[in-house]
Amino acid sequence: MFFHLHQLFPDLTIAGDKVSLLCSTYLSASLSAVHNTSLKHLGFIGSHIGPLALAVVFYETIEKNTIESSKYLDIIDQYHSLLIQEDSNEVLYGRAGYIYALIFIRKYCKDNEEIMSKIGDKKLKEIIKLIIKDGRDGAKKMTVENLKTVNDKITKPALMWSWHNAEYIGAIHGVAGIIATILQCGELAHPYLDELLQTTEWLAELVQSNKNYPARIQSTHDDLIQFCHGAPGILVSFLKIYSLYPTHTSSKNILSNAIAKTDLVWECGILKKGVTGLCHNTLGNAYAFLLTYLITRDEVQLRRALAFGLYGGEWEVKTHKNEERVSDHPWSLFEGLGGGIIYWSDLMFILKNVKQLGVNSESVAQGKVIGFPCFTDL
């Protein structure tokens, strides 16, 4: 959170402390926890990899301490062999989350030849190849019974992954998130582009009668409208895929599908399970509007983003009145106030720079890492 604030507002102080100092303080605490706990997963969000990757970037770009940045990169490198045995490919805990960590480091440390040599194309290619192999194998295992019928024809995706023995399709645990992450690897994803985009188009056809997506294939529940499961996360994934390949033949359909789902998020996206978190709280859903605005420049989407942001600002009153549940981990990034602060900072930056200064929204966003945190903000 503090690193993100530093990227947007480098001179910002909180209670007299620069955000860079606060970033250092909280990062040190996180790294202490890493040293004192065992590794259970390999994703950027749900494991040791996140704090370690942030340490590499923080010490390289803010502290200018190449010794420290190299030290933490070496620790990450020790985990690379575990990816071969890993059976999860999703964003939260699996290989896609590890890919995000590597491209996060590559983005901010691209001028450091030593760092770039340690996490070169070869490592990323190896991980992508493993994910694609599992995706192809998963698609082959799909039976007629669990395929979606569209226009009286049985369709089949080129790729399919499972998590906990179920084919999840959303951003955090499923197909949409895996594809969006791989495509952020640029040219390294090109050998698999047709398969990835064909699967994206197939995914777009899974919309249910209520205009939402199920959490997983054959699920009887289609009422989850949140980032981790349902339309908001798939929408954000589609927006990222479109932004990476805007001229591809499938891109127009992918974008129109994403935009169409913003109405559903507007109507049903205020959640009672919490306000400020990103994963399954209201402000996570708000990114659907903010990121759609950055691509379409549609004022309606910006007003919706602002309305959800203002609603989120009342989180304390609403939880005290029991109108909203306290978030699962109320001070955390993905399930608490930390995520809300990032959303509000992104919204404030866009309002200030796009609305007041009249600059191009896309160029501003790309220069200042506006995107869904730990997912499409590269």
In the three-class reduction of DSSP (H, G, I as helix; E, B as strand; rest coil), residue 158 is classed as coil
- The two structure tokens encoding residue 145: 């019974």
DSSP 17-73: EEHHHHHHHHHHHHHHHHHHS-----SSSSSTHHHHHHHHHHHHHTS--HHHHHHHH
Closest CA to 48 of 21, 17, 16, 72: 72
CB 127 within 8 A of CB 98: yes
Residue 268 annotated as lining a ligand binding site: no
Does the annotation list 279 as a binding residue? yes
Residues flagged as binding site for Zn(2+): 228, 279-280
